[in-house]
Amino acid sequence: MGTEITFHYDILSPFAHVALARLDELPAGCVIVPRPVLLGALLSHWGQRGPAEIAPKRLHTYRIAAFLGERHGLAMRFPPRHPFNPLAGLRILAGANGGAGADLAMVRRAFDFVFRQGRAPDNALDLEAFAAAVGAPAELAGDDAAKAALRRSTEEAISLGVFGVPSFVVDTASGPELFWGVDAFDMLKAFLADREMFSREPFAHLGGIEVGVERK
């Protein structure tokens, strides 16, 4: 059997778009299971602010995403509004395939719509075009079952400790291992090649480090 890796994403994330372009680097036999999540809900749960909510970090974030995209062969074009409201688009993805959720090919088309075409599916016209590009009914944006599927997917991600997107979660005998961000992709590849790497130094002692100062 192949290794199942859950890919938690929000269509807001340009780094998730870059991560999708790197999936072919993973070992043969890896099965990627995409799961849409609402980034805003993750941030609220863990008490964080998104990078685009911090004024000097916003442009830097866009630049580094475009830089990384270029490095991996992507001609990235940001939508005219970012962050935009991704909720309707995420519901379409969560409710696709009869409630099973969008498959990887559909997710790739969703990100191409946002970060290759540079369109934000946050209005009626673009949402219709987004649904057509993905290959799912636009009506799912208002469907109760699709809404519930997105909530469930987000809550499950939080229960696994997912705090941002993109996140890759690998199930292991000792529990899920989480790899956050496209900059953790090389570490994910290394872990898949050596499942015991975190049990050795310089990693083994990291879970025992005490919190020295905590901001209230």
Query: Structural domain boundaries of the chain?
Result: 4-208
Tokens of 206: 């990291």
* Mean per-residue pLDDT, 18-38: 96
CA distances from 21 to 71, 73, 150 (A): 10, 8, 24
pLDDT value, residue 110: 98
pTM: 0.95
**Around Cβ 149, how many Cβ atoms within 10 Å?**
23
CATH topology for 4-208?
Glutaredoxin (3.40.30)
Burial of 64 (0-12, 13-18, 19+ CB in 10 A): middle
Alpha-carbon span 50 to 23, nearest angstrom? 25
Alpha-carbon span 164 to 150, nearest angstrom? 16
Residue 169, classed as helix, strand or coil, is strand
pLDDT of residue 64 exceeding 80, the answer is: yes
pLDDT digits (tens, 9 = 90+) for 136-146: 999 999 999 99
Average pLDDT, the chain: 96
* Mean per-residue pLDDT, 160-189: 95
Q: Are strands 175-180 and 167-172 parallel, antiparallel or unpaired?
A: antiparallel
